A = this chain, B = another copy of it.
Amino acid sequence: MRIVDIISKKRDGLKNSYEEIYDLINGYLDGSVPDYQVSAWLMAVYFNHLSSEERVDLTEIMLNSGEKVDLSEIEGIKIDKHSTGGVGDKLSLIILPVVACAGIKAAKLSGRGLGHTGGTIDKLESIPGFKTSLSKENFINLVKKNGLAIAGQTASVAPADKKIYSLRDVTATVDEISLIAASIMSKKLAIDTQGIVLDVKVGSGAFMKNKEDAEELALSMIDIGRKHGRKMSAVVSNMNQPLGQMVGNSLEVIEAIDTLKGVGPTDVTELAEVISSRMLYLGGFSARQSEKEVYEIISSGAALNKFKIFVESQGGDPDIVEYPYDKLPVAKKIIEIKSKHSGYVKKIDTEKIGLASMLLGAGRAKKEDIIDPSVGLKVLKKIGDRVNLDETLVKLYINKKDYDEAEKLIHQAYEITNDKTEKEKSVIKIY
């Protein structure tokens, strides 16, 4: 079939066959199909969406465009997790040691942050000595020995997704759930696991701005995963405010350690426990057993100890666990951003909080930017909290002289009203 007819079909609301999607995507990769035809197809998909079958096909085609990460040497049950990205999301640092303690093998490939969202690799690299660039052999050996390892994503996984994502980025076709689902799953399915737990963020700091879209994305990814033979679970979680208090790299490591010590913020603790439990559940534990196990692993200190082993095994300084503020790089200059109103926090534009942290140097506006691991911010007031005039909303940890823009963003982010507002729950739905 001619490419223009493949586009017409999608434009007219018909389904594209596996062969049609294959010809389009692989033609794009080998240069025989021009980008202007792919972008027209993507825009037609934006309007007419992909059916379940088409999503599965597209995912498989993108998955097969690259290398797969063979973990067959690792015995036991391998369960992965994936977050769609948010502000203050340090959950992998907590969850992976927890599930490793329960016998799950957690071999995780993580990414770096971009824009208002952070990335696990950046957070780990704030730990002095920590290495995320591991040989395949070393990575596998660490998972075999400790039950967990985290390394940077390789470029050889799903190159078709990478190329298509770049095109979507400049053609206003990023925000289409079926394309997002296929993009994420093409990368997750490249890693050899029995199951995947998805953390789908929703709210002002997430890509999904409303519950319906987040649920649709969760179900869409679950569907793709199951049709590829994986056990799947998803948690739709709140991103109407930063997760926890800390936003920044070393600051988030500190909060993860606090949570492993049992003294972390409630929302971080709760969500970490829920996702960990879902991973155990996929790994064969009963639902009830999973929750009990996770609770005991944290409260006994086993998870904290596992985290220490994990850090040390990847070259990091294990003393950060005992002396986080001394051993981790933390900016010394602290600026308090104070409220100009009194009342209750009604809303937080969380994307603005993420951007403020980025402007301080904790994140990247462009891929090439270099981050400062020691800076960031601490969110003292969250939705539903009472605030007095001149009370501190946020503390900035800075190294730069200029923080005007960040301060402005924080004031813009907070909506404070006289009406008492409910606190937000961290877990919205579990699949």
Contact = CB atoms under 8 A, between A and B. Distances in A.
Number of copies: 2
B170 A11 contact: no
A39 interface: yes
A365 to B, nearest CB: 14
Interface in A13-42: 34-40, 42
Interface stretch (A1-9, A341-349, A387-395): A1-9
Interface string A169-184: 1111100000000000
A233 B387 CA distance: 68
A200 to B, nearest CB: 23
A242 B37 CA distance: 34
Contacts of A337: none
A44 interface: yes
A171 B10 CA distance: 11
Contact of A35 (B5, B8, B36): B36
Contacts of A39: 36-37, 39-40, 43
Interface string A107-131: 0000000000000000000000000
A178 to B, nearest CB: 15
Contact of A172 (B11, B35, B167, B170): B11
Nearest to A48: B47
Interface in A299-352: none
A1 B285 CA distance: 53
B34 A172 contact: no
A397 interface: no
A164 to B, nearest CB: 11
A172 B40 contact: yes
A46 interface: yes
Given A43-B11, A43-B44, A44-B43, A37 B171 contact: yes
B172 A7 contact: yes
Nearest to A45: B43
B44 A170 contact: no
Contacts of A8: 172
A47 B44 CA distance: 8
Contact of A42 (B40, B47, B167, B170): B40
Contacts of A40: 39-40, 42-43, 171-173
A4 B170 contact: yes
Interface in A119-174: 167, 169-173
A6 to B, nearest CB: 9
Given A11-B43, A11-B46, A43-B11, A4 B36 contact: no
Q: Which residue of A42, A46, A172 has the most chain B CB atoms within 10 A of its CB atom?
A: A172
Given A35-B35, A39-B39, 12 more contacts: A7-B171, A11-B43, A11-B46, A34-B170, A36-B171, A37-B39, A39-B40, A40-B42, A40-B43, A40-B171, A43-B47, A47-B47
> Which 6 pairs from chain A and chain B are nearest by CB?
A43-B43, A40-B171, A7-B172, A36-B39, A35-B36, A8-B172
11 contacts: A8-B172, A11-B43, A34-B170, A35-B35, A35-B36, A36-B39, A40-B171, A40-B172, A44-B46, A44-B172, A47-B47
